[in-house]
Structure 1
Amino acid sequence: MSGPGERGVQAVLFDFAGTLFDDTGVFTASRLVAKAGNRGVRLDEQVAATLIRRTLAYVDAPERSAAKEGCDLSPDAHRRIWTGLIADAGPFEPPLVEALYDCLTDNDAWLPYPDALPVLEALSAAGVPTGVLSNIGWDIRPVFERTGVLDQLDAVVLSCEVGLAKPDPAVFDVACERLGLPAGRVLFVGDDPVKDGAAARAGLPVYLLPSERDVRVPRGLTGVLRLAGVESGRAVAA
């Protein structure tokens, strides 16, 4: 096995949602029932499931893309924009809006893909500097702490903390600076051809994952180990 300094890729930078942790199962009927109960709203799971479908159909519609601009640049902007969209999806009363927003930002709701943690552990064991760069509106470090890999990350760059978001090339520059390496030596791994693919404009090599995903199915992250010169067979099943 070659050492990190003996290969072109010397560090790996990962996107968060849809790359390492699943973004399709955050809203569940049982979770919304619990969050609504905490806000004084009683729901059964059938009603909760209907409300979730209604909300996602509205906020994920292509015509709502412009309304989300800037939502990840600060925690305040994220809450304001997302609660506004959720409220309009109903329209819903404020306690239910807050319950739906609580589901979105619940760090315990974010689950890793089967190959995510083993790949992070393999990179760390091989001495490859590793980081996360995410367009996000709240602190996701507790997700990595809960799953036992926070200490294996050399950099965590969150758009809401630095006031920059992908696809702005400047945010990739910030992440590379924190890893202490030039862009050409840092592999970026993501799933969005536009936002994550913009890493190439900042000089980073890019590894894009398929858009189709399932939290029960490996994400295809073992390919990252090969690109980083790490022998995957010793650390994670191919």
Structure 2
Amino acid sequence: MILVDRARADAGHAYLRSLFRADAADAAGAPRHDAERDAAAVDMAALECSPSRAEVARVTARYAHVHAQAAREVTEEPPAFERPPGAAQAVLLDWAGTVAHLESAEEWLSGALAEAGITVPAQDRDAWVHQAEAAGLPGGRRPADLPPRDLAAWWRRDLDPQAHRGVYDRLLEEAGLPWPEAAGALYRRTMSAAGWRIDPAARRAMVTLRRAGVQLTVVSNIGWDLRPILHQHDLLTWISDCVMSYDIASRKPDPTIFRLACQRLGVQPRHTLMVGDKPEADRGGEVLGIRTIILPQPGGDDRWQPVLDGALGPRAAAGR
């Protein structure tokens, strides 16, 4: 949320300083990580309900602390291999379709109805799943599939959380699902860790790249905060930043979002690689000198090999 970033300028600072003074050797181990995972779920719920300034500062401080711990853990390990001259200093990662994908429509509907306390016979649920899929749920539809009256909201959805919710409500209305009391649960499911599946090959590639000293950032056209999901899927150990369109009022392929990602990492675009699955959006940084790799569809274990070769060089990638 925009408020989360703004909180760094006020009440969050005092708490941040206390967290960064913490001893790097934390004996709590696994219980500590479990506690942080539970706290992330609480944070996400708080941010959905018009949080106070104090709540925003607390959540901001927690994520700063997670990043600080992750950075220590990664840098304490020796690099897996030396990067050759000319290797990428940073890799920018698209989110949906690249690092992760939404769960199936059946999983989405079943999970949301369970959250809402609604029980539906299996045969009826299957029929409603097909109807939801026909309306473009759970992931939404592309512009070519939308009627003209919905196009303006569709284009705003990644820049404005209210427009994002409005587009989703419109799809739910079109699907005709008979549980108005479940609308909130159906929407929240797409923004929860339970609703996303991380590509195992993407995770392995991120580990390899980060241990080789390459910085990683998610650059996403999205209308809501990804950081709780990154945390709950244990990705913040490897990902050092998250640049989201709604948060900076710029969306791919606008070069602005790519330029800002490089600035935050402190790297030049010519030393940066962008990885995505949609050429029309993810190649926007090429005007700045960013190299781009568009992943093949469907996914597979070798899908990320071109990324490792492009970032590290074939010889280094083969020796991982």
Q: TM-score range by the shorter chain?
A: 0.7 to 0.9
Structure 1 outlier segments of 4+, above 4 Å: none
Q: Please name the residue that 2:58 is paired with.
A: none
Closer/same/farther in 2, CA of residues 80 and 12 from structure 1, 3 Å limit: same
Q: Which amino acid aligns with 1:128?
A: V
Instruction: Please report how far the alpha carbon of residue 203 of structure 1 lies from its aligned counterpart in structure 2 after TM superposition.
Output: 2.9
Q: Which amino acid aligns with 1:211?
A: Q
Give the Cα separation in 1 of the matches to 2:199 and 2:289: 28
Is the CA contact (8 Å cut-off) linking 1:20 and 1:113 kept in structure 2? yes
Is the CA contact (8 Å cut-off) linking 2:160 and 2:246 kept in structure 1? yes
User: Does 1:140 pair with 2:226?
Assistant: yes
Aligned positions of 1:80-159 closer than 5 A: 80-90=166-176, 92-159=178-245
2:306 to 200, 212, 223: 223
Give the Cα separation in 2 of the matches to 1:134 and 1:148: 18
Q: Please name the residue that 2:101 is paired with.
A: 22
Deviations, residues 202-230 of structure 1 (Å, cap 9, x unaligned) = 431100012334xxx33611221111126
Q: Please name the residue that 1:163 is paired with.
A: 249
1:203 to 281, 289, 301: 289
Q: Please name the residue that 2:83 is paired with.
A: 3
Is the CA contact (8 Å cut-off) linking 1:130 and 1:153 kept in structure 2? yes
Give the Cα separation in 1 of the matches to 2:233 and 2:179: 34
Is the CA contact (8 Å cut-off) linking 1:114 and 1:219 kept in structure 2? no
Q: Please name the residue that 2:274 is paired with.
A: 188
Q: Please name the residue that 1:63 is paired with.
A: 145
User: Does 1:232 pair with 2:307?
Assistant: no
Which secondary structure does the structure 2 equivalent of 1:69 belong to? helix
Q: Please name the residue that 1:50 is paired with.
A: 127
Give the Cα separation in 1 of the matches to 2:88 and 2:251: 23
Greater RCO (CA < 8 Å, at least 6 residues apart):
1
Q: TM-score scaled by structure 1?
A: 0.84
Give the Cα separation in 2 of the matches to 1:207 and 1:110: 23
Give the Cα separation in 2 of the matches to 1:149 and 1:39: 28
Q: Which amino acid aligns with 1:9?
A: A
Which secondary structure does the structure 2 equivalent of 1:194 belong to? helix
Instruction: Please report how far the alpha carbon of residue 124 of structure 1 lies from its aligned counterpart in structure 2 after TM superposition.
Output: 1.0
Give the Cα separation in 2 of the matches to 1:34 and 1:3: 44
Return 5+ residue gaps in structure 1 as ranges: none
Closer/same/farther in 2, CA of residues 125 and 22 from structure 1, 3 Å limit: same
Structure of greater Rg: 2
Give the Cα separation in 2 of the matches to 1:114 and 1:86: 31
Closer/same/farther in 2, CA of residues 201 and 118 from structure 1, 3 Å limit: same
Closer/same/farther in 2, CA of residues 211 and 86 from structure 1, 3 Å limit: farther
Q: Which amino acid aligns with 1:118?
A: R
Q: Which amino acid aligns with 2:126?
A: A
Return 5+ residue gaps in structure 2 as ranges: 1-80
Instruction: Please report how far the alpha carbon of residue 26 of structure 1 lies from its aligned counterpart in structure 2 after TM superposition.
Output: 4.5
Is the CA contact (8 Å cut-off) linking 1:26 and 1:104 kept in structure 2? no
**How many residues are treated as equivalent by the alignment?**
229
Q: Which structure features the higher share of helix residues?
A: 2
Is 190-199 or 32-41 further displaced after alignment?
32-41
User: Does 1:177 pair with 2:263?
Assistant: yes
